[in-house]
Amino acid sequence: MTRAFLIVLVLCATARLSSAQGLYLQKGTSGYGADVGLTTDGGAFSVGANAGYSHQGWLDGSVLLYQTVLDPDTTNGYELSELGITPRVAVHPLKQSDTMPVSLEIAGRFGVSTMVGEGFSDSGMSMVAWTAGASTTVYRFFKLGANYGVIPGVELVYGHTEVTFDSSYGTDHSRDDRFSVAIGGHGAWLHDSGYIFTLTPAVIIDHHGAASFSLSVGAIRPRP
């Protein structure tokens, strides 16, 4: 059962195309924002809220809070949810310009989550998962109108997950190392209020061929 949990955690808890504030802000412009999103692999379903700040469009910091509802078919019939938090830091060493055709983001994250559910703790079981990862995203902004555009992106991700499972039978440790690619696009609309509203769909495929889908919506406020 621990292995089944681990696979779901890897697929749903960490699979999400980067949507940091720095992707939407020009070099030298700071801003803050938030987004909400969902991820699913066709079985488990994850929802999350992310908030962060970008310093001059170059350095980003954010925190993601999420809940993943697991498929009972993978958890021996238990109706369980995973609750987690993942801080993330990113830099944008390259920014699109007249002489630079694309932008580049390099990011790192670290998170912790725990399992909750009726009958789980009552049976003397507990689970804690630790995740760490790094990613590189190549993206480019295409202006489609006076106040809106799209930002296609490709993100390469390495993720490491460790799970500690305690039960009346003892303690079990599992780990997973996984590479994945996220392909998607960011829609951006600059409203008259000054906010940038965003929409980000993406497909994530790992090196085992497992796939998941994510969708997020958000808003960013550039600082004057």
Burial 10-19 (b: 16+ CB within 10 A, else e): bbbbbbbbbb
Residue 119 has a pLDDT of 66
Q: Rounded to an integer, what distance in angstroms lies between the CA atom of residue 28 and that of residue 55?
A: 8
Does the CA dihedral 106-8-176-124 come out positive or negative?
positive
Q: Are 82 and 68 in contact (CB under 8 A)?
A: yes
Could you tell me the fold of the domain covering 2-222?
Lipocalin (2.40.128)
pLDDT in tens, the chain (224 residues): 445 555 555 554 454 566 678 888 888 899 999 999 888 877 778 888 999 999 999 999 999 998 888 777 766 667 778 888 999 999 999 999 889 999 999 999 998 988 887 767 667 778 888 889 899 999 999 999 889 999 999 999 888 888 888 877 788 888 888 888 889 889 999 999 999 999 999 888 888 787 888 899 999 999 87
The 8-class DSSP code of residue 211 comes to: E
* Residue ranges covered by each domain of the chain: 2-222
Residue 205 has a pLDDT of 87
Q: Are 19 and 25 in contact (CB under 8 A)?
A: no
Burial label for 70, CB within 10 Å (0-12, 13-18, 19+), is buried
Q: Rounded to an integer, what distance in angstroms lies between the CA atom of residue 55 and that of residue 38?
A: 26
The encoded tokens of residue 27 equal 């070099």
Residue 30 has a pLDDT of 94
Residue 207 has a pLDDT of 81
Say which amino acid occupies 87.
P
Q: Are 217 and 198 in contact (CB under 8 A)?
A: yes
